[in-house]
């Protein structure tokens, strides 16, 4: 049978809809951006991000403000009713708020167990099933009035619970709690300030709303970090931070010198770094030979706190060494401030006075709502007590009305009619127990009427007077300062008293001899070591190429056969003996494979009148002014030092004109003055012909040492270039 042909299947694809990129961003990307900014990364005026607020409120509702600790895993699980982002992120949020982690000046969570440390990236926190937490007592100030309608409450993500939009904190937690957040297109980085100073600054602003920045700087002196350290105080930089909310704070580590053990104990480091970063930099410096003053360093953190110990060599000045380490390691670091805060769901970068002004506005709103709540409660109570007063006039009448009422639902209406009271009052009277329907009980209850009326009048007076409301806030701040205030942890050091690092001050200077071999081995030998033994040991097949005398503070340059120049400090090399091979420069300076040095020189300056002289295999030579090798910055490697057209034969440094012996592959030579070689303005110039060479010939050697020629040098001397070589055999 013939096979039936399969019918083609027709697929109807949805039409392509084109959408402008601007519309895509507006409809798809912008909602995400605003969600990250408003609901995740940027703190609000209470100093908290949503993740912090949801966690703390959950702990508050769990009774952990007054109760005992509970397992962190329990808290994390309960918090997921408000924060669905996962247990790991919730626990990480809680870790940062704990006393054990030491991130905050005033921890919000009282913890038990291992929570890592802010100053260490490797010291990890234990799992939530092993640790326990409760709210720290200072959280009572964050939740004050929250049950009295002080702030708005909203539904959680599935509308099963209510949570606060903000916490009615009674002090400016936004400037006491450090906060960092990265949103989309913006970020926030708020440093912590001393609680007592912030309370004083807020009180001063409450009393004088037009307070100047200068006055605020006198009250709130500088940031204060939980890790301590020393703040290098720059008044203009601090003014910029206080005025604009942006700037940088320089922080240094603090240390003590143990004279007996001859070691430096670093006990506080900048808040913005970690001990791992510091030790990694110390290790790199040690390997590069730039930390010769230190023999060993180690982490000695224990239960007593932070400690990084540096064992130093005998005779090293610890203060000078620390000045060097401040410059070269994160033991001195910058905290970059960006006071970006959400105000009414709008991100704003503000200075300190502006932030405190917004906090005062927020706090006044919380206080008014709390007082309005209390006022209404007192009015409700007064309303009930006034009904009791009417009952007192005729208790028997009240009893008679209740006794004669046949139906239960008629008791309240009959009391309302009999005493001319409303339904709420009638319900209150109807609920009084029979045993309490006596004159003494009722008299005792209505005795509070006069006091209530006075309290209500006072509260109404305060609610109508902003000055009195501010006075209440001042009283609260004064009490908070007295109860929770702490001395500053970060020392303030004025910038003009700080000794800046100068590399020249770090050198232990002494005379030394520098030796370079043809294979690239380098030795730095003290003259004391040379006494009685100046015979230089070399590797088999190697020989000494150059010997120079200088000092340990000298700068050295090494020119290689690959047209590259390497710069180094004499101090970078360890002293050695003449009997040792020395440092292998290609490895020490990181040269390319098979690259070898052809010139060494002490190069503390680059005078225009002094020259580098390069001679090439093609018989050409060039002089280039030393000034052409000056560079900006501290560059350790310079490329394109001379022309690569022909391989180099030799290189010299010319301070004054010198005699040079050039020998070709045909063993023909000339002696010329280096001043005959034209000086070129560019480093890559190919030079001019110095010795005449036939096809296939090349220049094989050049030297400034003419001692082997004796009297024969006269026949080799040439006054013009290019010159024809004289057979070297005739000069013997």
CATH number of 254-330: 3.30.1360.40
Looking at residue 137, its pLDDT comes to 96
| Catalytic residue (choose from 29, 32, 130, 510) | 130
Region 170-186 average pLDDT: 93
Looking at residue 534, its pLDDT comes to 72
Looking at residue 5, its pLDDT comes to 56
For residue 722, is pLDDT > 70? yes
Q: Given the structure tokens 């895993």, which residue do they identify?
A: 73
Looking at residue 415, its pLDDT comes to 87
Q: Which CATH architecture has domain 48-168?
A: Alpha-Beta Complex (3.90)
User: 512, 602 in Cβ contact below 8 A?
Assistant: no
For residue 712, is pLDDT > 70? no
- Reported confidence tier of residue 333, pLDDT bands at 50, 70, 90: very high
Sign of the C-alpha dihedral, residues 376, 379, 381, 387? negative
Looking at residue 574, its pLDDT comes to 85
**714, containing H or E segment:** helix 713-716
Looking at residue 51, its pLDDT comes to 94
For residue 715, is pLDDT > 80? no
- What is the C-alpha to C-alpha distance for residues 345 and 304, in angstroms, rounded to an integer? 43
- Reported confidence tier of residue 711, pLDDT bands at 50, 70, 90: low
For residue 175, is pLDDT > 90? yes
Looking at residue 7, its pLDDT comes to 63
* Mean pLDDT value across the chain: 90
Region 256-276 average pLDDT: 94
With a CB cutoff of 8 Å and minimum separation 6, the contacts of 377 are: none
Region 244-268 average pLDDT: 95
Region 29-44 average pLDDT: 83
For residue 531, is pLDDT > 90? no
- What is the C-alpha to C-alpha distance for residues 93 and 70, in angstroms, rounded to an integer? 17
Region 418-430 average pLDDT: 87
Write down the domain spans for the chain. Answer: 48-168, 254-330, 357-484, 503-731
Region 474-502 average pLDDT: 92
- Reported confidence tier of residue 64, pLDDT bands at 50, 70, 90: very high
The better pLDDT of the pair 8, 106 is held by: 106
Burial of 695 (0-12, 13-18, 19+ CB in 10 A): exposed
- Among the four given CATH numbers 2.40.50.140, 3.40.50.920, 3.90.550.10, 2.120.10.90, the one describing domain 503-731: 2.120.10.90
Region 133-154 average pLDDT: 95
Looking at residue 499, its pLDDT comes to 80
CATH number of 357-484: 1.10.268.10
Active site residue 130: yes
For the ranges 214-228, 562-576, 683-697, the maximum mean pLDDT occurs at 214-228
Looking at residue 30, its pLDDT comes to 82
Residue 221 CB-half CA count within 13 A: 15
With a CB cutoff of 8 Å and minimum separation 6, the contacts of 617 are: 646, 647, 648, 649, 698, 699, 700
For residue 92, is pLDDT > 70? yes
Looking at residue 2, its pLDDT comes to 52
User: 251, 271 in Cβ contact below 8 A?
Assistant: yes
For residue 447, is pLDDT > 70? yes
- What is the C-alpha to C-alpha distance for residues 613 and 152, in angstroms, rounded to an integer? 82
């Amino acid at each position: 049978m013939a096979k039936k042909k399969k019918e083609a299947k027709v697929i109807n694809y949805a039409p392509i809809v084109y959408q402008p990129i601007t519309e895509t961003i507006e409809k798809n990307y912008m909602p995400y951006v605003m969600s990250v900014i408003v609901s995740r990364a940027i703190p609000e005026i209470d100093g908290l991000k949503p993740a912090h607020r949801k966690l703390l409120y959950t702990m508050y509702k769990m009774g952990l403000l007054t109760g005992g600790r509970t397992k962190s895993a329990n808290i994390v699980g309960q918090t997921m009713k408000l924060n669905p982002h996962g247990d790991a992120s919730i626990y990480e949020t809680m870790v940062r708020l704990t006393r054990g982690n030491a991130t905050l000046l005033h921890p919000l969570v009282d913890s038990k167990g291992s929570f890592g440390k802010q100053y260490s990236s490797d010291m990890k926190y234990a799992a939530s099933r092993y640790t326990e937490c409760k709210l720290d007592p200072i959280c009572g100030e964050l939740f004050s009035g929250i049950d009295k309608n002080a702030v708005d409450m909203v539904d959680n993500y599935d509308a099963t619970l209510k949570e606060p939009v903000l916490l009615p904190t009674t002090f400016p937690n936004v400037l006491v709690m450090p906060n960092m957040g990265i949103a989309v297109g913006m970020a926030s980085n708020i440093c912590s300030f001393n609680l007592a100073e912030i309370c004083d600054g807020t009180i001063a602003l409450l009393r004088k709303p037009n307070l100047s920045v200068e006055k605020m700087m006198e009250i709130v002196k500088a940031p204060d970090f939980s890790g301590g350290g020393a703040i290098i105080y720059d008044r203009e930089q601090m003014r910029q931070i206080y005025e604009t909310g942006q700037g940088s704070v320089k922080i240094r580590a603090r240390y003590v010198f143990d004279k007996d053990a001859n070691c430096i104990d670093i006990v506080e480091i900048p808040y913005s770094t970690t001990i791992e970063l510091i030790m990694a930099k110390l290790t790199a410096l040690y390997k590069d030979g730039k930390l010769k003053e230190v023999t060993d360093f180690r982490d000695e953190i224990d239960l007593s706190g932070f400690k990084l110990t540096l064992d130093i060599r005998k005779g090293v000045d610890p203060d000078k060494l620390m000045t060097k380490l401040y410059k070269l390691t994160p033991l001195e670091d910058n905290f970059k401030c960006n006071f970006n805060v959400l105000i009414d769901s709008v991100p704003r970068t503000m200075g300190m006075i502006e932030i405190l002004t917004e906090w005062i506005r927020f706090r006044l709103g919380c206080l008014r709502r709390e007082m309005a709540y209390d006022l209404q409660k007192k009015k409700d109570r007064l309303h009930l007590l006034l009904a009791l007063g009417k009952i007192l006039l005729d208790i028997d009448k009240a009893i008679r009305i209740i006794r004669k009422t046949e139906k239960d639902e008629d008791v309240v209406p009959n009391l309302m009619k009999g005493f001319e009271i409303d339904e709420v009052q009638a319900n209150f009277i109807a609920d009084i127990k029979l045993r309490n329907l006596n004159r003494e009980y009722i008299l005792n209850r209505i005795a509070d009427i006069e006091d209530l009326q006075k309290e209500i009048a006072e509260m109404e007076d305060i609610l109508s007077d902003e000055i009195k409301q501010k006075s209440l806030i001042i009283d609260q701040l004064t009490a908070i300062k007295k109860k929770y205030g702490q001395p500053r942890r970060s020392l303030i050091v004025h910038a003009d008293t700080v000794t800046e690092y100068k590399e020249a001050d770090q050198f232990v200077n002494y005379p030394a001899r520098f030796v370079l071999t043809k294979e690239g081995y380098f030795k730095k030998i003290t003259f004391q070591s040379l006494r009685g033994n100046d015979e230089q040991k070399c590797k088999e097949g190697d020989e000494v190429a150059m010997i120079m005398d200088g000092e340990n503070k000298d700068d050295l340059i090494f020119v290689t056969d690959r047209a590259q120049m390497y710069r180094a400090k004499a101090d970078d090399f360890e002293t050695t003996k003449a009997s040792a091979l020395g440092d292998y420069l290609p490895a020490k300076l990181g040269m390319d494979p098979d690259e070898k040095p052809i010139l060494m020189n002490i190069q503390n300056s680059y005078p225009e009148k002094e020259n580098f002289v390069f001679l090439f295999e093609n018989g050409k030579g060039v002089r280039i002014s030393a000034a052409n090798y000056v560079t900006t910055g501290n560059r350790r490697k310079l490329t394109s030092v001379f022309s690569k057209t022909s391989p180099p034969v030799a290189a010299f440094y010319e301070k004054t004109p010198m005699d040079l012996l050039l020998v070709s592959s045909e063993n023909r030579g000339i002696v010329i003055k280096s001043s005959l070689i034209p000086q070129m303005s560019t480093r890559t110039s190919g030079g001019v012909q110095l010795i005449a060479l036939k096809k296939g010939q090349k220049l094989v050697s050049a030297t400034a040492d003419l001692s082997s020629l004796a009297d024969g040098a006269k026949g080799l001397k040439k006054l013009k270039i290019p010159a024809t070589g004289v057979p070297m055999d005739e000069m013997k």
